[in-house]
Structure 1
């Protein structure tokens, strides 16, 4: 499944339809490695997943999993090696299906696929199951599914759904602030944790709230289940880790810390402790900080596992040693434009195991000696690899899996410069083929989202290579607040979204344009989410760019912090606009709308809850009122990102035409000129 360029199809068309490798799981005995591969459906309007088998030894070619169907995703293995996954496929038990209502028959179910025989559904829930976890040594499964207030199980939930359908009413009365998860509506359904034992009915182990839907773990013997839920009362910056009896649902332990949130729980191999990611979110006065902690289930003691680790890599889910009594763990995190795998030994020593690349979907062999993962770079989509679990700064062995994309229309290098406060900055620079002193390329600057993110991995949204295929160089800067540069990088940008990060962006742009193969007279700026905010900010502070594209970017920070699904989080950063007015005046671009002279293209979606549509409408209205050239590309049914393949192609083509016209001075058919 390798695709490359041809002379007839634009690169962004191939890019939008290319298969995507998303998950990787290893069987308990280490003999089977299963990946999820997303391809587009026949209509070309969405991605659908299918399961592939990858040879862990790297000798055989990958192949489709026998009896897997289109739409199977999120694979995992149970204790006896049976492959489990989520799927919306129809249940072949016709008698069972006929007894269900319309509500109960819809949604994603949990399925089991043995080595021999057909797949069978082992759990279903009205509206579907969104995530699941398995016990290492027992045939116990936990899963996340919704309940309406007042419902204690799936049957009661289905009855309430039928009542709402019969009444033809979908109104909701909130007695607290309405919140919603990214890309979803604000309830009234709430995710709950259910535990399914062999030959038993699902046990409701409690509500997860909206603190971390799907974030759960089972102890190796299946006796305990852990999940997180929102803290009660006025504590939006705090959540609670709940450890419950997996048979009765009764709470056994709870852990919390004011001002902190916990995610991605995992039990140790002997079941004595729970390892989590602990996150202290940014405020105006404190920096964002993330670490890994362990909760001792006997004493209740919490231990920071990375107290001296200043790479600030935003460690992801810890992968723990499968050997009881062994405290070794592995994790990934950003580091200077890469996302290495790190190993933490029992004595606290941390070793970087990989020399380059960005790693995800990490899994470890049963004897703890071998790692498997998905590896990507800015210039390579995710591919399955094998690594030694001990050796420092190694290069992986690539397995014969799907997902490679070759060739790319250019080359990748780096840009380095010192910031105005002396901090060393770096960025990736994608150069198009043929860029030289004789033929300098136009430059597009593309700040990342976040802001706590880094250009370290392949991305399917705002990827640099469709621009390079059109002849543009693309600068991918990591300004203040980026991850992977130590805690100082967070301190530099704290409380000033439009201050030091913007100055870093300009410093890296100037450093790139000092190259003789780039054309300083033909430049553009594009950004998504926080990068869209920086694009809006730049539009009010400089006219050096010929064109600016802002996708899902903040414009009016006062209105934004009231409307976003993370309103409590952003209010901590900027404060009450009535009493901390100076923070908004210093950071909100809308105060300086009259200074915008650069032509702008706004990209925004109607179902964006993170940066609501009002931000785009306000920006568009302000620029139209002031006579600034502006166009608006609206996707009514998308969320904070653009996911549908047909929409991705349209977005790239529209943006490229806009840049071709304003940066290159071309007249392009279909160009959205203001």
Structure 2
């Protein structure tokens, strides 16, 4: 089998990765965020690269710092803004917080724009025709000023206090604790950023003077533009689901989070960036308004309106537009049964440019504002993200990826023609081929997916099969993932089936509804139907198969383990095991309890079928996973031992535990351990080989 970058895990984790894209206001320059492996191979550092937006020319590196850069956007003047924890010569030596930096379009070194005690969370919005922008940043709840925030943080640090007192839900999200600081939106005027020469403090101060100065409130630097708090006393409202500035920067439209009992929803509010005055534009019970976008002329607002699902079925995600003040709202493309993942206005403001899952892909669509039919602009096998509009030509610049190629920058013409841009990152050679697979479910529905075949798979040499089940469950196997990558399995001779069963996105609301309130029903039978279709091929070895999945895919792997013995091995990562337990311990319990009836939560819980498991199971979980808490796998492991442990304590099943990893297991060295352990488990049970576990596991 030919050697590729996927043949070696060490070589794989060292592949550079393009993570984000920004387009300059004049449409000539593209800035890419590129992640590369650090020298100690335990993390990734990020830098910014510039490439021509037309497709020709050489890449040019813009930044180079040990702390790296991320979140790049352009200002109206063409300067590049980014967030970095790189050293600021005028800040405290031990300041490790990420701050906002500006790289001038005319050349020169990057300069700091903020010096917030808690750092900058990200850039929420940048005005298209003014020097105003809005930042997200966490401030302590009792702080009345930026100086108060710095003092309170310094006091907690000095006293080594980590305790957090909560009065709202939730208390943690994904992999981090919430509080005590709260998210704020801060307006900033870059026009106030001026070059100055700071005076050096006089030498000879005593230690007592130093201690007194440390306890005093340090003024926010007068040499930097002072951020204005647009969301005083926010609670968690500034946990936004999108924000946009009018071209003049005068008004911010933000999707603010509003409590609704233990649950929450998002409203759209307009905030005057000079005064902080707020006007609610759209607010409905059990409905969220998200992803606001503002037209280039500043007169029209676009957004996504989503009702809450219930056990009766999922709610649709609708495209809407209104006047900038919320007047004259109307729904667009009411008959278009797709869920927008991102949206922006076309060059002439006559349509929205929208991305959405569709049929195992993620095309770009043009949605006219005046009722004309939706037009699909791209028709290849890729998923598009980070789409930007070149206002001079109407062309689009974006990242695209598939299971055969990681994200790379392209230009999409008005006619849909796609041109790859020059890149600082070469695309790796794939380890096999990809073909589309379809099957008919037991209720007659079409079920499709991707089948990836290794080099050399044939009737004479059929490949063992790995059924990989996606997470979500509102998701689709349509874009490259560095974390969950089938190319690594192809390089080891496996075929990989990536199916989209009931509950998957990109096939319409009815397809999602087939599995709603019944995760163990049609999602399971869909998986078996498409697996049956694949193992009937003469290039697949139906006697050597395994099933794997993470998150919802882990739930499904657990369900498969308790309902069939057709697979030789099961790998279940970050999986849901006991739904009654999970629904109250996940970081978003209201959602999970809202979409199931009490009866369905019992009927669809995999733990009820533990006695029926006949297949060796590899359980994997990270302790810092708050979306699917570690208790799920701890209970699964306990019950596997209860029912299948031998008298001497031995067990055919295995448990790979990461004390300091989250839902995904992201550290490069741990990703290597993850794959080595998985492939060793599969080699033993699927291939019948004797393979040692990684040495680093002892």
- What interval of TM-score do these two structures reach, taking the shorter chain for normalisation? over 0.9
* Alignment correspondent of 2:409: 384
User: What's the offset of the Cα at 1:489?
Assistant: 0.7
CA offset digits 1:429-456 (Å, max 9, x no partner): 0111111111111100001011111011
User: What's the offset of the Cα at 1:233?
Assistant: 4.3
* Alignment correspondent of 2:476: 454
Residue 170 (str. 1) matches residue 162 (str. 2): yes
User: What's the offset of the Cα at 1:337?
Assistant: 1.0
* Alignment correspondent of 1:639: 662
Confirm or deny: 8 A CA contact 2:30 2:52 kept in the other structure.
yes
Distance 1:57 1:7 in 2: 30
* Alignment correspondent of 1:304: 331
Q: Map of 1:577-656 to 2, 5 A cutoff?
A: 580=598, 582-627=599-644, 629-656=652-679
Between the two proteins, the alignment pairs up a number of residues equal to 651
Confirm or deny: 8 A CA contact 2:4 2:430 kept in the other structure.
no
Confirm or deny: 8 A CA contact 1:337 1:456 kept in the other structure.
yes
Describe the shift of the 1:640–1:9 C-alpha distance in structure 2 as closer, same or farther (beyond 3 A). closer
CA offset digits 1:9-68 (Å, max 9, x no partner): 833332222111111111111121111011111111111111011111211122212667
User: What's the offset of the Cα at 1:541?
Assistant: 0.4
- DSSP 3-state at the match of 1:316: strand
Describe the shift of the 1:402–1:67 C-alpha distance in structure 2 as closer, same or farther (beyond 3 A). closer
Structure 2 residue aligned with 1:205, among 204, 210, 230? Answer: 230
Describe the shift of the 1:8–1:352 C-alpha distance in structure 2 as closer, same or farther (beyond 3 A). closer
Structure 2 residue aligned with 1:360, among 385, 406, 426? Answer: 385
Residue 317 (str. 1) matches residue 309 (str. 2): no
Q: Map of 1:117-156 to 2, 5 A cutoff?
A: 117-132=108-123, 133-156=125-148
Distance 1:220 1:567 in 2: 39
Q: Map of 1:213-252 to 2, 5 A cutoff?
A: 213=240, 215-234=242-261, 236-252=263-279
CA offset digits 1:347-395 (Å, max 9, x no partner): 2331000111110010011225110010111111011101113x2xx34
* Alignment correspondent of 1:403: 425
* Alignment correspondent of 1:485: 507
Residue 434 (str. 1) matches residue 456 (str. 2): yes
Confirm or deny: 8 A CA contact 1:321 1:368 kept in the other structure.
no
Residue 416 (str. 1) matches residue 438 (str. 2): yes
User: What's the offset of the Cα at 1:210?
Assistant: 6.3
- DSSP 3-state at the match of 2:690: coil
Describe the shift of the 1:304–1:11 C-alpha distance in structure 2 as closer, same or farther (beyond 3 A). farther
Distance 1:279 1:656 in 2: 41
- DSSP 3-state at the match of 1:602: strand
Describe the shift of the 1:67–1:670 C-alpha distance in structure 2 as closer, same or farther (beyond 3 A). closer
Distance 1:223 1:613 in 2: 46
Distance 1:550 1:191 in 2: 35
Distance 2:668 2:10 in 1: 9
User: What's the offset of the Cα at 1:296?
Assistant: 2.4
Distance 2:278 2:468 in 1: 47
User: What's the offset of the Cα at 1:490?
Assistant: 1.2
Describe the shift of the 1:149–1:46 C-alpha distance in structure 2 as closer, same or farther (beyond 3 A). same
* Alignment correspondent of 2:683: 660
Give ranges in structure 1 of 5+ residues lacking alignment: none
User: What's the offset of the Cα at 1:187?
Assistant: 2.0
- DSSP 3-state at the match of 1:45: coil
Distance 1:232 1:671 in 2: 47
Describe the shift of the 1:671–1:112 C-alpha distance in structure 2 as closer, same or farther (beyond 3 A). closer
Distance 2:442 2:420 in 1: 41
Residue 350 (str. 1) matches residue 370 (str. 2): no
Describe the shift of the 1:395–1:536 C-alpha distance in structure 2 as closer, same or farther (beyond 3 A). farther
Describe the shift of the 1:39–1:171 C-alpha distance in structure 2 as closer, same or farther (beyond 3 A). same
Distance 1:307 1:667 in 2: 57
Looking at CA atoms only, which structure, 1 or 2, has the larger radius of gyration?
2
Distance 1:153 1:497 in 2: 49
Residue 253 (str. 1) matches residue 280 (str. 2): yes
Residue 26 (str. 1) matches residue 23 (str. 2): yes
Structure 2 residue aligned with 1:112, among 77, 99, 102? Answer: 102
* Alignment correspondent of 2:221: none
TM-score under structure 1 length normalisation: 0.93
